[in-house]
Amino acid sequence: MITRFRQIEMRLMGPLTMIPIVLLLVILGTIAALPVVATILSELVADFVPPALQHLTIVVLGTAGFVGILALNPIYSIWLERKVAAHVQDRLGPMRVGWHGLLQSFADGVKLMFKEDLVPRDADRVLFGAAPMLAVASAFAAFAIVPWGVREDGTVLAVANLNIGVLYFIAITSLGALAVLMAGWGSNNKYALYGGMRAAAQMVSYEIPTAILVLVVVAQVGSLSIPDIVNAQAGGILGVGDWLIFQLFPLNLIAFVLFFICGLAETNRTPFDIPEAESELVAGFHTEYSGMRFAFFFLAEYGNMLLVSMLAALLFLGGWIGPFGSNPLLFFVKGFGLVVVQMWLRWTLPRLRVDQLMGICWKYVIPISFFLLVVTTVIKGLL
Amino acid sequence: MAEQRSPVDGAPLVTLYDEELPPDNSYAFSPEELEEDEMILNMGPQHPSTHGVLRVELKTDGEIVKDARPHIGYLHRNFEKHAENIDYQGVIPFTDRMDYVGSMGNSLAYALTVEKLLGIGVGERVAGIRVITAELQRIASHLLAMGTYGMDIGAFTPFLLCFQQRERILDLFEWLCGARLLYNYNWVGGVSHDLPEGWTDKCRRFLDEFVPVLDEVDKLLSHNKIFIRRTADIGIITPEMAKDYALSGPNLRGSGIDWDLRRDDPYLGYENYDFNVVVATSPHGPVGSCWDRYFVRVREMYESVKIVRQALDRLPAEGDVHENVPRFVRPLAGEAYCRSEAPRGELAFYIVAENKKPIPYRVKGRSPCFVAMGLFHEITRGEMIADIIAIIGSLDIVLGEIDR
């Protein structure tokens, strides 16, 4: 009986499994060929769209592209996270739905879509409804300034090539704290309130060292524009030697590690996941959320994970510059590699307590960041 | 008002009230007594980390807990009253359900008490088997305590690694008596089944493979900097407090007091086994912290492995496990109190028997978890919310035993 059931399942799942695999290959292929794709697209736009709308069309197309990637990101990331967790814990993880459980996240997504959208009776409906949207919006909006690479003529492959990109990044990510606070307050639940308050305190505190560490990079490169920062890291041994992380050794290495720690804290990942500390606060700020609103928080969380990883890759690991020439795919792989490191940490480390977390920020991370800023600036000035 | 009196010496046992008492709410916090900035937070009975259906009421000021009051009784199943209506052997399955993650220890304590009442002993093989099962159960129970404690602090991975090993012990028990959790294995005067053929080899193999895994989990969790900082200076139970509140087992030894019934009041021939009583050394903070209690359990598992190895080596090859099982249990009038070292501490039963009656007059269980909950409010006062979880976990309570 069970074998028969399994056979039917296999027959159904076999072709369906191809969907995520093909989708992934298409996405990766597009990213790898992004300079070519962008050239073709801009030529098409130049041919068929009236001149007044050309710029707008390109921005819309670019936005659609990265929103598509971000919407699919949780599906692969959650699958990857569950696989990483499973293998850390000596088990298999999802195996039944599709090839090695690849369709599991799709199934979960469908389930979340059809779940009843519960709102607690005494909740603040406006804040409760707006919080997940704001969370997603802040996570997605920050991606607008992420440059994916450069074309041969020097044009940057970004939706918005701002000359103050890093400032925009710092400003937009602050909105995430507001969303979490709104969710915690609007739920009218004491556990959610605790989660929201913790999140606000944590995110606001860790924004300070993040900004200082970004300044460390800016002070060395002399530009607020992210493409300039990446271009300054080109060259060197094997195309790797001039990555910022290897310059002024070990100052920039420390800066990178601290930046990554701040990223963990800003995205509420273990060991800094106290806003949703499962064993203390049930689920923290999203205790009362279900269905798609809950899924939105997931979307935002995985979007933020990818964002801080990509930013770390851009600022310290040379972005799209690597030993085999420059390619957007290389940048994507670097970003996703750091996401995997985040997952690895999550399934290995326990959680800090809220006062210890703040202690680490104010007693260690901020002073060291200031020290790094001063020292790197002085060295740059002397050189 | 009527009184139940002991048939032995006429001492009052239970006071029965004729009229129904009004509900007493004075124990709960009332909103009126709150000061500014204070809030009542209700934790449980449905909460991921209260280890069952414990309900804790917290009076909080921000993250600081001003006061904590545990409410118990959500798992009360009337064990002691049931026991007054069932024959002596029939009580054993009920004892299994007290501490449901350490069933072997419960039925062992009860069987020892009835044997004391009857004045019978058990053969060497039965004693050996009982030691093996009791120590394996101790390992299984401590594995659960260790894994869930890691989860309380936020580390998920040790939990699954511990449960894998726990499953293997449960597999051994299943092979032995057919049940994985509630065994009904220790009978009055014997055990229900003899060891199956090949069981001892499998058990030895498990021990050999278990120790490296335990080393690994120990490395992963116990000496982790974050874990130490979370646990090593909270929930301090000073040795004096531990004595005043009559703690027992790992909680008592975690406070640095060298006391183990297996050595100090031996039963089942524990005096012949070579093992150390693990006492907290507290390298990371004051003695009696959560980390100390946790680490006592970890090191006790190594000692239990030692005891099981010795017991397997010494086990007589032949022997009828039902040899001393009495046909009828009808003790003379009298009372018996027998204590033993269960995974969670000193588990004891007190039985009052009427002359030649097949059912006990009164059965009282002395539960180590219930006693440990007595000082919960003292060690939680002034800590933070996250520490409450750490303290509950470090006391390693099982609500089935507290509420009975």
Task: Output the pLDDT for position B377.
Answer: 85
Strand-pair partners of A289: none
Strand-pair partners of B348: B339, B366
Q: Which residues of A touch B (CB under 8 A)?
A: 85, 88-91, 190, 194, 270-271, 273-274, 277-282, 347-356
Q: How confident is the model at residue A247 (pLDDT cuts 50, 70, 90)?
A: confident
Are A353 and A274 in contact, with CB atoms under 8 Å apart? yes
Strand-pair partners of B365: B349
The DSSP result for A287-313, as a single string, is TT--HHHHHHHHHHHHHHHHHHHHHHH
Task: Output the pLDDT for position B206.
Answer: 92
Compute φ and ψ for B325, nearest 5 degrees: -70, 120
Mean pLDDT of the A218-225 span: 85
Same domain, B264 and B152: yes
Q: How confident is the model at residue A368 (pLDDT cuts 50, 70, 90)?
A: very high
* CA–CA separation, B307 and B245 (whole Å): 29
Q: Is B351 a residue whose pLDDT tops 60?
A: yes
Q: What chain A residue is nearest to B51 in terms of C-alpha separation?
A: A279
Q: Which residues of A357-377 are buried (b: 16+ CB within 10 A; e: fewer)?
A: bbebbeeebbebbeebbeebe
Mean pLDDT of the B316-332 span: 82
Distance from CA of A115 to the nearest CA of B (A): 22
Answer whether residue B345 is part of any domain. Answer: yes
Q: Is B249 a residue whose pLDDT tops 60?
A: yes
Same domain, B44 and B90: no
At A160-190, the pLDDT tens digits run 777 888 888 888 888 888 888 888 888 888 8
Task: Output the pLDDT for position A5.
Answer: 67
Task: Output the pLDDT for position A286.
Answer: 83
Lowest-pLDDT range of A9-18, B97-106, B282-291, B384-393: A9-18
Which of B71, B89, B122 marks a domain boundary? Answer: B71
Query: What single DSSP character describes residue B25?
Result: -
At B211-236, the pLDDT tens digits run 999 998 888 888 888 889 888 888 88
Mean pLDDT of the A225-234 span: 83
Q: What is the enclosing helix (H) or strand (E) of B340? A: strand B334-342
Please enumerate in sequence order all residues whose Cβ is within 8 A of that of A346, keeping only pairs 6 or more positions apart, or say none: A81, A85, A269, A270, A273
Q: Is A1 a residue whose pLDDT tops 60?
A: no
Answer whether residue B349 is part of any domain. Answer: yes
Top-confidence residue, B24 or A356: A356
Q: Which residue has the tokens 């099981």?
A: B308
Which of B71, B89, B118 marks a domain boundary? Answer: B71
**Are A89 and B161 within 8 A, CB to CB?**
yes
Task: Output the pLDDT for position A366.
Answer: 92
Same domain, B49 and B84: no
Summary mean pLDDT of chain A:
83
Q: What is the ipTM of this complex?
A: 0.81
| Angstrom distances, CA of residue B160 to CA of A185, B86, B132, B180, B291 | 34, 39, 24, 18, 20
**Are A270 and B154 within 8 A, CB to CB?**
yes
Same domain, B58 and B160: no
At A318-335, the pLDDT tens digits run 878 877 777 888 888 888
Strand-pair partners of B70: B56
| Closest by CA position to B257, among listed B285, B237, B271 | B237
The DSSP result for A261-288, as a single string, is HHHHHHTT-TTS-GGG-HHHHTTGGGTT
* CA–CA separation, B392 and B404 (whole Å): 19
Compute φ and ψ for B16, nearest 5 degrees: -105, 130
Distance from CA of A22 to the nearest CA of B (A): 33
Q: Which residue has the tokens 């659960």?
A: B144
Q: How confident is the model at residue B17 (pLDDT cuts 50, 70, 90)?
A: low
Same domain, B232 and B354: yes
Contact residues, chain B, for A273 at CB < 8 Å: 154
Q: Is A281 a residue whose pLDDT tops 80?
A: no
Same domain, B132 and B48: no
* CA–CA separation, A228 and A220 (whole Å): 12
Q: Does residue B11 sit at the A interface (CB-CB below 8 Å)? A: no
Answer whether residue B404 is part of any domain. Answer: no
Number of domains chain B contains: 2
* CA–CA separation, B132 and B143 (whole Å): 16
**Are B152 and A279 within 8 A, CB to CB?**
yes
| Proportion of chain A in helix, strand, coil states, percent, rounded to 5 | 75, 0, 25
Q: How confident is the model at residue B18 (pLDDT cuts 50, 70, 90)?
A: low
Same domain, B157 and B137: yes
Q: Is B369 a residue whose pLDDT tops 80?
A: yes
Q: Does residue B164 sit at the A interface (CB-CB below 8 Å)? A: yes
Strand-pair partners of B339: B348
At B39-92, the pLDDT tens digits run 888 887 888 877 788 888 888 888 888 888 888 888 888 888 888 888 888 889
Task: Output the pLDDT for position B30.
Answer: 76
Compute φ and ψ for B101, nearest 5 degrees: -100, 0
The DSSP result for A74-86, as a single string, is HHHHHHHHHHHHH
* CA–CA separation, B75 and B338 (whole Å): 25
Which of B48, B71, B94 marks a domain boundary? Answer: B71
Answer whether residue B389 is part of any domain. Answer: no
**Share above pLDDT 90 across residues of chain B, in percent, rounded to a whole number:** 18
Q: Is B144 a residue whose pLDDT tops 60?
A: yes
Same domain, B57 and B119: no
Please enumerate in sequence order all residues whose Cβ is within 8 A of that of B103, keeping only pairs 6 or more positions apart, or say none: B95, B96, B97, B137, B181, B182, B183, B185
> How big is the CA angle at B70 (ends B65 and B75), to the nearest 5 degrees?
145
Same domain, B302 and B360: yes
Task: Output the pLDDT for position B25.
Answer: 64
Same domain, B96 and B33: no
Query: Is the omega angle on the peptide bond into residue A271 within 30 degrees of 0, that is, cis?
Result: yes
Q: Is A378 a residue whose pLDDT tops 60?
A: yes
Answer whether residue B164 is part of any domain. Answer: yes
At A38-72, the pLDDT tens digits run 788 878 888 887 887 877 888 888 888 878 888 88
Are A86 and A93 in contact, with CB atoms under 8 Å apart? yes
Same domain, B43 and B139: no
Answer whether residue B399 is part of any domain. Answer: no
Q: Residue B348: which domain range?
A: 79-378
Top-confidence residue, B221 or A284: B221
Q: How confident is the model at residue B166 (pLDDT cuts 50, 70, 90)?
A: very high
Chain centre distance of CA A69: 11
Task: Output the pLDDT for position B4.
Answer: 67
Q: How confident is the model at residue B3 (pLDDT cuts 50, 70, 90)?
A: low
Distance from CA of A348 to the nearest CA of B (A): 6
Compute φ and ψ for B62, nearest 5 degrees: 65, -125
3-state SS, B172-185, equals HHHHHHCCCCCCCC
Top-confidence residue, B6 or A346: A346
**Share above pLDDT 90 across residues of chain A, in percent, rounded to a whole number:** 5
Lowest-pLDDT range of A21-35, B76-90, B142-156, B281-295: A21-35
**Are A356 and B389 within 8 A, CB to CB?**
no
* CA–CA separation, B107 and B181 (whole Å): 12
| Closest by CA position to B296, among listed B247, B338, B340 | B247
Q: Is A79 a residue whose pLDDT tops 80?
A: yes
* CA–CA separation, B58 and B29 (whole Å): 9
Q: Does residue B401 sit at the A interface (CB-CB below 8 Å)? A: no
Contact residues, chain B, for A347 at CB < 8 Å: 156-157
Task: Output the pLDDT for position B305.
Answer: 92
Q: How much is the pTM?
A: 0.85
Same domain, B117 and B101: yes
| Closest by CA position to B83, among listed B73, B104, B97, B72 | B97
3-state secondary structure of B66: strand
Contact residues, chain A, for B391 at CB < 8 Å: none
